[in-house]
């Protein structure tokens, strides 16, 4: 009995290690690789290369609380850049988004859809309306530092760079446990993408702000995330995807656990859909970047299943080693402590709960993707939208 119980416990620990590998062990492997074979993203200008032209694409649904501040932000971006084409698609908004954009029609390219088609459709449409050599993509609730185009000019001076991702900062990380946990995770993600860049290429981008060469753009299939699909296609074509720490973007994080849980389900579902669509190409990556993709991106989306399996196996092992009743009593004690901590709003307990919800949301989303679910359209969580005045201040 003892050898069997220890075997079960070993399998359980192995599952836990796999589930948690993207949150520590993976970064340690990158630190080691950076010492052995660094690849810093220093632009290597090509004097013969033509000057790049820039266009920024934005899709909006019900964004009346933030859309004016966003357009003013983009106009400041154009003023600092000297030249920037601004294209906006309104996806049959049910509020005043389209009406608020009408006064800007002489300064932007505005497309208002009569029916809701989704962000992917809108972005594909806008890309087809511009001939700019560099395409920028952003979200309606994101503020961008005015020197963004100047930063991108430096990075795209390197012909090996095909896609550049921004450094996103959540401005409300003190707005409760959900925002605090999400912001801490994102700081880890930004650090990780920096390490990935230093060792070749980052694996994926972020919808808050990223840019790519138009020559590498392909239409994104409906229901897939452009901020993951497009950088991965760039990587599969042999160009580098890099994180630019000085390309700064600012956003508001969700503050409701329920909102964040739904968001995690949607994101994981669409990321797994991208995996299914691109895996035939991604599997041909060199071994190092295939390792990065599988052990960080893919494992993050399915890691919740490994953690659940690890928990079940360790519970079975504990029951075999210490008895069923003591094991059940320990589980009840832990569950009761979690319930009381949430009821009494104890900060560390709320943070642990939000972490568990994140893993569960990813696992559910991955399962939905395997069943063929797609999120062609969605509503942005209310708790991720500050009031207009707060949005301007955050920028």
Determine the pLDDT at residue 255.
Answer: 86
Q: What is the per-residue pLDDT for 224? A: 86
Residue 392 pLDDT: 38
* Mean pLDDT score across all residues of the chain: 90
pLDDT at 166 (0 to 100): 95
Lowest mean pLDDT across 44-58, 90-104, 208-222: 44-58
Fold of 38-288: Spore Coat Polysaccharide Biosynthesis Protein SpsA; Chain A (3.90.550)
Indicate the burial class of 247 (C-beta count within 10 angstroms; 0-12, 13-18, 19 or more): buried
What pLDDT does residue 59 have?
96
pLDDT band at 390 (very low <50, low <70, confident <90, very high): very low
Predicted confidence at residue 389, as pLDDT, reads 35
pLDDT tens digits for 300-355? 999 999 999 999 999 999 999 999 999 999 999 999 999 999 888 898 999 999 99
Whether the Cβ atoms of residue 304 and residue 3 lie closer than 8 Å to each other: no
Q: What SS3 state is found at 174? A: coil
Q: What is the pTM of this model?
A: 0.90
| Position 388 pLDDT exceeds 80 | no
pLDDT at res. 395: 41
Find, among 209, 257, 261, 231, the residue nearest to 77 by Cα: 209
pLDDT for res 41 = 56
Q: pLDDT tens, 347-378?
A: 899 999 999 999 999 999 999 988 888 766 66
Per-residue pLDDT of 25-49, as tens digits, reads 999 999 999 998 777 655 566 666 6
Q: Where do the domains of the chain lie?
A: 38-288
Would you state the torsion angle of the CA atoms of residues 229, 235, 240, 243, taken in this order, to the nearest 10 degrees?
30
| pLDDT, mean of residues 161-182 | 91
**152-170, pLDDT tens digit by residue?**
999 998 889 999 999 999 9
Tokens of 131: 């001939």
Greater model confidence, 88 or 207: 88
Q: Rounded to the nearest 5°, which phi and psi values hold at 274?
A: -65, -40
Check residue 20 and give its pLDDT: 96
Q: What is the pLDDT of residue 51?
A: 83
């Amino acid at each position: 009995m003892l050898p069997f119980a220890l075997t079960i416990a070993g399998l359980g620990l192995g599952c836990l290690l796999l589930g948690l590998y993207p949150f520590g062990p993976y970064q340690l492997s990158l630190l080691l690789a950076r010492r052995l074979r660094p690849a810093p993203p220093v632009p290597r200008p090509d004097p013969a290369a033509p000057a790049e032209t820039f266009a920024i694409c934005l899709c909006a649904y019900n964004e009346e609380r933030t859309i004016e501040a966003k357009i003013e932000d983009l106009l400041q971006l154009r003023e600092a850049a000297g030249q920037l084409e601004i294209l906006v698609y309104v996806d049959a908004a049910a509020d005043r988004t389209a009406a608020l954009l009408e006064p800007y029609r002489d300064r932007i390219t505005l497309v208002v859809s009569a029916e809701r088609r989704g962000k992917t459709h809108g972005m594909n449409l806008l890309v087809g309306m511009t001939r700019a050599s560099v395409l920028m993509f952003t979200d309606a609730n994101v503020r961008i530092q005015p020197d963004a185009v100047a930063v991108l000019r430096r990075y795209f001076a390197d012909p090996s760079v095909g896609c550049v991702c921004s450094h996103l900062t959540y401005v409300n990380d003190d707005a409760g446990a959900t925002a605090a946990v999400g912001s801490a995770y994102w700081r880890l993600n930004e650090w990780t993408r920096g390490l990935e860049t230093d060792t070749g290429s980052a694996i994926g981008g972020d919808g808050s702000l990223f840019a790519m060469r138009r020559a590498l753009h392909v239409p994104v299939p409906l229901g897939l995330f452009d901020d993951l699909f497009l950088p991965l296609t760039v990587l599969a074509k042999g160009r580098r995807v890099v994180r630019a720490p000085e390309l700064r973007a600012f956003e508001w994080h969700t503050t409701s656990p329920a909102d964040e849980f739904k968001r995690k389900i949607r994101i994981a579902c669409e990321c797994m859909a991208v995996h299914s669509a691109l895996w035939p190409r991604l599997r041909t990556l060199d071994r190092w970047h295939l390792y990065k993709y599988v052990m960080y991106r893919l494992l993050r989306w399915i890691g919740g299943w490994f953690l659940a399996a690890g928990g079940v196996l360790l519970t079975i092992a504990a029951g075999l080693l210490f008895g069923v009743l003591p094991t059940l009593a320990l589980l009840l004690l832990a569950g009761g402590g979690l319930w009381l901590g949430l009821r009494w709003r104890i900060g560390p307990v709320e943070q642990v709960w939000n972490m568990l919800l994140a893993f569960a949301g990813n696992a559910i989303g991955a399962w939905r993707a395997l069943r063929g679910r797609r999120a062609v359209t969605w509503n942005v969580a209310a708790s991720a939208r500050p009031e207009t005045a707060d949005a301007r201040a955050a920028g």
